[in-house]
Structure 1
Amino acid sequence: MDMELTGRRVLVTGASQGIGEGLAKAFAAEGCHLALVARSADKLEALAAGLRAAHGVRVDVLALDMTQAGAVEEIMAFAGDADVLVNNAGAIPGGNLWDVDAQAWRKGWELKVFGYIDLTRALYPRMKARGGGVILNNIGNGGQNPDFNYIAGSTGNAALMAFTCALGGRSLEDGIRVVGVNPGPVATERIAKVLKSHAARLLGDEARSGELMAGYPLGRAATVAEVADLFVYLASPRSSYTSGTIVTVDGGITSRRSVA
């Protein structure tokens, strides 16, 4: 199916690894030109070279710590003409209210929560002036599943869900679609670390993390491609009536709740 994205300019933050890397590959395969932002210059350059060779698309990279003062302005100078923004940078630390102190909590939110909000605030008016655009927020199903042991992340993700729905509820009036995606566990290095931590806490041995994985739907996490392909569809004109909502891709984890 042609996603009608050829030649579109896509800005992806946190693009050097994990889901961000998968997003870059998926959009490049659709013929999109990419603007990729992440901390690691080496990883970005290697990824960009591979995508240019494989797909013949333009790939520009910006190595940047998005928590630094002036970062949003640098990104706007770099890719303020983007047709699609994918907010993806950041990971909020796990732990309960006392594990995550005030400094760690603020640091995690600075990149993921406020990073998403600040970049959206900057880019939205330019999209409006050009006649439209798409803003996609990679959030996470923790916002739908409040977790005592992921309190900073659950709270931050819930805030981003509300932000996405509040903005996207009226953004079509400006020709802009705003949509959130809530992945559950995804097969990345990060989920491997999380599972080891959970296994150590729950089972007394991080080496037993595979036992926790077996409890996921289909006995596995989602693949990066399964998540990235959803973003591509949501960014495309084929999803032109989708805005102000959250799409959860977690194999049904969020819907497993029971009253008994």
Structure 2
Amino acid sequence: MDLGLRGRKAIVCASSRGLGKGCAMALAEAGCDLVINGRNEATLTATAEEIRDRFQVSVTTVVADVSTAEGQKTLLAACPTPDILVNNNGGPPRRDYTELDRPSMLDGVVQNMVTPIELIQAVLPTMMDQGFGRIVNITSLSVKMPIEGLDLSSGARAGLTAFLAGVARQIAGSGVTVNNILPGKMDTDRLKGGFERSAAASGKSIDQVRAEQAAEIPTGRFGTAEEFGQTCAFLCSVHAGYMTGQNVLLDGGLYQAAF
């Protein structure tokens, strides 16, 4: 399917690896020129080279922490008028709610709620003026289903979801859409780190923990960054202009509900 995105400009935050990279790859495949971002320069450079080699699109790298004002300024200087913004950022580390203090809670809210809102505020005027814009926020299954130890991440992402529910509808007539993708258990480094923690705590092997967790998912497997990226690219496409303010679960059926 031609997504109608060739020549469009996209900012993809936290895209040197994992789900962000999956989104960047899919958008590049659709013909978008990219600004990609990460904190590790070597990893980011390698990702940029891979994307250029595979898809022959323009890729600009920005080494920055997008949670900071300086990082956002650098990112937007590299692409002042994006057609597409994919918000992504690392979440707070897994921690029991009793261990959270005020600074850590504020950091979590800045990372997973305030930062994407600030970036949306920055790019919306141009998107609305040109009559086209696509904003996709990578949130989490934990917005709908509690995950032990991720209360802060869940709360901040749920706050973002509620905040943007009204914004998405307020600007819907301008040709700009705002949607969220809620990943479940995706086969990323973050998930692998969870396997290691569970194995250490239970005395089981990592392979055993992995197999047990995969068995809990109705599809019997973990999701991939590639299929996640393709979902993101569709939401950014010309075919998704009538879809806004939605939360798209990508979890293999793990969240069991009819509605």
TM-score by length of 1: 0.91
The alpha-carbon distance between structure 1 residues 148 and 89, as it changes in their structure 2 partners (threshold 3 A), is: closer
- Classify the secondary structure of the residue corresponding to 1:219: coil
Q: Which residue of 2 aligns with 1:234?
A: 235
Deviation at 1:188, TM superposition (A): 0.4
Is residue 17–residue 47 contact of structure 2 (8 Å, CA) maintained in 1?
Answer: no
- Classify the secondary structure of the residue corresponding to 1:106: helix
The alpha-carbon distance between structure 1 residues 141 and 47, as it changes in their structure 2 partners (threshold 3 A), is: same
Q: Which residue of 1 aligns with 2:189?
A: 189
CA distance in 1, matches of 2:97, 2:254: 24
- Classify the secondary structure of the residue corresponding to 1:31: coil
Q: Equivalent pairs: percent with the same residue?
A: 29
Greater Cα offset, 86-95 or 228-237: 86-95
TM-score by length of 2: 0.91
Q: Which residue of 2 aligns with 1:216?
A: 217
TM-superposition CA deviations, 1:86-106 (whole Å, max 9, x none)? 001222322221133333332
- Classify the secondary structure of the residue corresponding to 1:218: coil
Is residue 72–residue 122 contact of structure 1 (8 Å, CA) maintained in 2?
Answer: no
Deviation at 1:219, TM superposition (A): 2.3
Match of 2:244, as an amino acid?
S
Q: How many residues align?
A: 256
What residue ranges of structure 2 are gaps of 5+ in the alignment?
none
CA distance in 1, matches of 2:213, 2:76: 42
- Classify the secondary structure of the residue corresponding to 1:253: coil
What residue ranges of structure 1 are gaps of 5+ in the alignment?
none
Higher relative contact order (CA 8 A, sep 6+): 2
CA distance in 2, matches of 1:17, 1:181: 17
Deviation at 1:205, TM superposition (A): 4.3
Aligned counterparts, 1:20-169, within 5 A: 20-169=20-169
Greater Cα offset, 213-222 or 153-162: 213-222
CA distance in 2, matches of 1:118, 1:65: 14
Say whether 1:254 aligns with 2:255. Answer: yes
Is residue 164–residue 180 contact of structure 1 (8 Å, CA) maintained in 2?
Answer: no
